Structure 1
């Protein structure tokens, strides 16, 4: 019996660098799960749309949608939820964050940027009008701070406060030698550009592609598969 199709659903971007990064991440997932059919889909900007991919696959096989999204928000609660709702053998995994593998990836990006002890760190997230997204980002900042053994504040590109520029300004006014924006985005694109313009002294690279990110996606898939086949469904 074939395993459920993994529909990797990202936001979508007009950035060619961003598209390459997400494709590379999906290829890493395929390498980790060689016995699983992995399909790309999107909630905005790019095609194919997640609902279309789910509908096509669910006609013949079980489906697990894994959001390539870092926080809960409109796209997980509405777009992806609506895509799987009509099909009894389709299920959506939760957003990727918060998670310890994300904290480890952020830690490496900070190390690559040669962050110093006197630097202030702002976790720079895309943001959302959904309050659950803000809760997820704050929880992620707490995990990263625990891993680093130092405070990590938060800033948002849109949808929530404080905005990244304000968070950077606040950290600088508090006496930081430098302010580092830890990019809490998967790939280059609109939000990465907002972070780059935030006024931070250092801006880290986006998270994808990275084998830890691929392992996290595989973990979300396996957990959703277990839920899909549980007697409660």
Structure 2
């Protein structure tokens, strides 16, 4: 039974036409439901898929006066977090949590995906992110890149699919120019879909699988939810 005092957890992702991508994102929400059966967990999107996040938030808090926390199932800040999700909670007893990244667990997850892809000691590594025009998003990706470089003990080139530069093909070319026998691309993406397809076409010799499904993503999402719940409690106490 759902605990009536617990805010509704709205897991909000970008949305995708990819069937595999939808399943990967849904795995995070399914994992949350398994670990926290007391929570009312709902799915929402900012693009491509339905239902849209404002409608889900409104439906969660009305007419029973419940509260809600929107957890962005996104790896960094950007327009969807700062605008779409932020606007969805305005005027409601609801708050937006921080996105999933950056987080040290994502660095470990990326390293595991690279190991699964067969990373060798003499490979050059490129971290491929979706990208955003928001400078804070690049800062977050750079933090992950720095963490991954430390974890692997080698340089990590960074490329973006959109929004900023260098683009992934440019980063792959820069990595290849180091003389490494192979360039391995770490896909800093949650799920298969448009951006992962573009990464596969960017010229790397090997591309790692997306991050989901993985229980570490579930744990991060629940941590973001818990932190946001604390802000709701503070606001309610005033």
Same fold? TM cut 0.5: yes
Of 50, 54, 57, the residue aligned with 2:57 is 54
CA distance in 1, matches of 2:222, 2:152: 26
**Structure 2 equivalent of residue 86 of structure 1:** 91
1:206 aligns with 2:210: yes
Aligned residue runs from structure 1 range 9-28, under 5 A:
9-28=12-31
CA distance in 2, matches of 1:115, 1:208: 19
CA distance in 1, matches of 2:194, 2:39: 31
What's the offset of the Cα at 1:2?
2.5
Aligned residues: 232
1:39 aligns with 2:30: no
CA distance in 2, matches of 1:5, 1:152: 39
1:194 aligns with 2:198: yes
What's the offset of the Cα at 1:168?
0.3
CA distance in 1, matches of 2:53, 2:29: 15
**Structure 2 equivalent of residue 69 of structure 1:** 74
**Structure 1 residues without counterparts, runs of 5 or longer:** none
1:179-216 deviations in Å (ceiling 9; x for gaps): 11100110010000010001000100000110001111
Structure 1 runs (4+) deviating above 4 angstroms are none
1:2 aligns with 2:2: no
CA distance in 2, matches of 1:69, 1:76: 8
What's the offset of the Cα at 1:219?
0.7
What's the offset of the Cα at 1:32?
1.5
Aligned residue runs from structure 1 range 148-187, under 5 A:
148-187=152-191
**Structure 2 equivalent of residue 136 of structure 1:** 140
Q: Secondary structure at the match of 1:230?
A: helix
So what's the TM-score if we normalise by structure 2? 0.95
**Structure 1 equivalent of residue 220 of structure 2:** 216
**Structure 2 residues without counterparts, runs of 5 or longer:** none
